[in-house]
Structure 1
Amino acid sequence: MGLERRAYARVGLLGNPSGGRALSFTIADFSATVRLRPSPQLLIQPHLHHDLVAFPSLPQLVSRLQSEGYYGGVRLLMAICKVFYNHCIQNNISLKAENFTLSYDTNNPRQAGLSGSSAIVCAALSCLLDFYDVRHLIKVEMRPNLILNAEKELGIVAGLQDRVAQVYGGLVYMDFSQGYIDKLGHGIYMPLDVNLVPPLYLIYAENPSDSGKVHSTVRQRWLDGDEFIISGMKEVAQVAFDGHKALLQKDYTELARLMNKNFDLRREMFGDDVLGSVNIKMVEVARSVGASSKFTGSGGAVVALCPDGDSQVEHLCKACESCSLDANGCGAVKFISFLVER
């Protein structure tokens, strides 16, 4: 009998793991699905669209690589298989000697900062846990680490925030204080009632060709003890702490202020060249009608809150419809209302 497991796109609402705290949630509109079925040999099945190896011509191959890069989802599935197996061996978890075929599908927008790659890995891990019947032997708090380790295998630079949100689902407050990491091996993760989340809106570019092409030095500066970066990260962590309180009190005026502050702090630390003109413009489109806005992740999409209600939502929708991101045909802006995954 086959298995099918799903993991959803993630929106970072406030904070940052590097700062020590974060508020994130998953949305039901976009997801990755992984299917596992027993088979004589272990097979990782390429996706017909995302893992193309056949092209009509050389120019079309080059065009595809320029727009979507070299990698699809097969490498992600292979990496989590390796990390899962090694974790089980290291922790004396016995695995039955049976093979399987893994396949995947996803409708996550490409390069939209919604953690589409980690959703594939998360769904695959869920399949492996159930196929081998070891879910009860690998604590839920440790599963985000396995997902992150699989992506590190591939040289993907990432943090725990996305993986925690996708493992737990819904709305999650996270505290990554070093004391917790040192003592427990993971942060403190607090699932919250998704009904605390006010109506929010997603803005993303169909073809985010300029999502920030200058390499960021922020992480290295933080490691080097740069006081400006350390201070900024502490402020971002405080934003998440204050946002948790605002959500519990349903103080959405304060939440809107904190969302704007979160982006402004990020802009100060990273600079416009790193953030990218398209990403900045999406934030500015929202702010032009008085909505608060920030990136959903590192760029590619923006989450917006309209504290003034339906009329402001209409203005935001029209502003997005008339928005031209750049002169190079970067693509239209998508504007959607979404559902928080429950």
Structure 2
Amino acid sequence: MKENGSSSGDINIIEHKAYARIGLIGNPSDVYYGRTISVNIENFNASVRLEPSSDLFILPHHTHDLVQFSSLNHLTGLSGSSAIACAAFSCLLDFYNVRDKIAVEIRPQLILNAEEELGIVAGLQDRVAQVYGGLVYMDFDKEHMHKHGHGKYTQLNSSLLPPLHLIYAENPSDSGKVHSSVRQRWLDGDEFIISSMEQVANLALEGKTAILEKDYAKLADLMNKNFDLRRQMFGDAALGALNIEMVEVARSVGAASKFTGSGGAVVAYCPDGPSQVELLEDACKKSGFSIVPVKVVPSLLNESDIRALSSTVTP
């Protein structure tokens, strides 16, 4: 947050950023009482600026508004819509001076509630990652969710992660349509979908252990399994040819890869190191995809947030 006084010194400007999210392991089971591991990244962000006024003004930016909202606008699968909502929510917490009064664990649900009123279909994963920052393990156990109104969220030490790369297309598919048929089949009790989603959730539990033990070969295997299970459930038509191609380009050089969210971007890990990264960069360039090293955002929780937090940080 930054505060700037006006010329008369009586107006404070509050500005917050929320960062893109990579679903590393376990997505999309967050929508199905599963588990996920997500990481907040600096590569892309949304920024919201709040100025006190006696009247309510929604002022469009002369260049960007209506066509672009920060660096996240053109990328799906990286939680762009929730980033805008999270940044706005952070501004309001400071404006009303209630940051230490609203529990950190329930903030993601409050943000999701606001988005649902706009017709956005999503799970809690994005909002949890963007509220906490860094690397977060999330358990959306159904009984715990119903009893407490939130999942069990644990921050992990992001320095335990291996080097990751983000692959994306400039004209990605719409991630908002990917969940639809699978969600209904899950609600209808489809045994294949239910069992497959449980397998996806279990990958996150295994992934947590792999990260803590720095077992990166295991992590690579889990990433690949995550995408393969998603593909079996959703089918190629729903995932989109361009999205599948990004995964296959990464795998063509031996890199582990999966969707960051529901499509539009892919996270890749090169277990063989820098030489394999070069091969991946060349393959992406030939296929017309952009690739950048992932820059992890540290924890976003300040002292006031920590006072409103009951979860722990794993060293």
TM-score by structure 1 length? 0.80
What SS class does the counterpart of residue 107 from structure 1 fall into?
helix
- Displacement of 1:210 after TM fit? 7.4
Superposed displacement of residue 212, structure 1 = 9.2
- Displacement, 1:48? 3.2
- Cα separation, 2, equivalents of 1:48 and 1:272: 40
1:23-172 residue pairs with structure 2 within 5 A? 23-52=37-66, 106-172=70-136
The whole-number CA distance in structure 2 between the counterparts of 1:159 and 1:213 is 14
CA contact (8 A) 1:19 1:236 kept: no
Offset of 1:215 from its aligned partner? 7.4
Q: Distance in 2 between matches of 1:167 and 1:213?
A: 25
Q: Percent same amino acid at aligned positions?
A: 65
1:220 corresponds in structure 2 to: 184
1:274 has 2:238 as partner: yes
Equivalent residue of 1:136, what SS? coil
Match for residue 297 of structure 2? 341
Displacement of 1:106 in angstroms is: 1.5
1:83-131 superposed Cα distances (whole Å, 9 cap, x missing partner): xxxxxxxxxxxxxxxxxxxxxx521151331011111110100000110
Q: Equivalent residue for 1:22?
A: 36
- CA separation in 2, counterparts of 1:108 and 1:213? 18
Q: Distance in 2 between matches of 1:250 and 1:172?
A: 16
Cα RMSD for the two superposed structures: 1.6
More moved, 206-215 vs 29-38: 206-215
- 2:206 is aligned with what amino acid? D
Q: Is the 8 A contact 1:222 1:230 kept in 2?
A: yes
Within the candidate set 266, 273, 283, 1:302 is matched to 266
**Aligned residue identity for 2:37:** L
Q: Does 1:262 align with 2:226?
A: yes
For residues 48 and 162 of structure 1, the distance between their equivalents in structure 2, rounded to whole angstroms, comes to: 29
Q: Deviations over 1:113-169 (max 9, x none)?
A: 101111111010000011011112211111001111111011011100000000000
- The 5 Å alignment of 1:308-319 reads 308-319=272-283
| Rounded Cα–Cα distance in structure 1 between residues aligned with 2:295 and 2:57 | 34
SS in 1 for 2:121: coil
**Partner of residue 148 from structure 2, selected from 169, 184, 193:** 184
CA–CA distance in 2 between the matches of 1:215 and 1:133? 37
- C-alpha change, 1:117 and 1:50, in structure 2 (3 Å) is farther
1:156 & 1:212 partners in 2: Cα distance?
8
Q: Quick one: distance in 1 between partners of 2:101 and 2:179?
A: 40
Rounded Cα–Cα distance in structure 2 between residues aligned with 1:42 and 1:212? 30
Letter in 1 for 2:160: L
Structure 1 runs not aligned, ≥5 long: 53-67, 73-104, 324-331
Contact kept? 1:212, 1:277, Cα under 8 Å = no
Question: In the alignment, which residue of structure 2 is the partner of 1:12?
Answer: 23
The count of residues paired between Structure 1 and Structure 2 equals: 284
Contact 1:212 1:275 in 2 (8 A): no
1:171-205, Cα deviation, whole Å (9 max, x unpaired): 00000000110111100000111101110000000
1:210–1:41 distance in 2 versus 1, CA, 3 Å: closer
CA distance in 1, matches of 2:23, 2:235: 19
Quick one: distance in 1 between partners of 2:163 and 2:244? 22
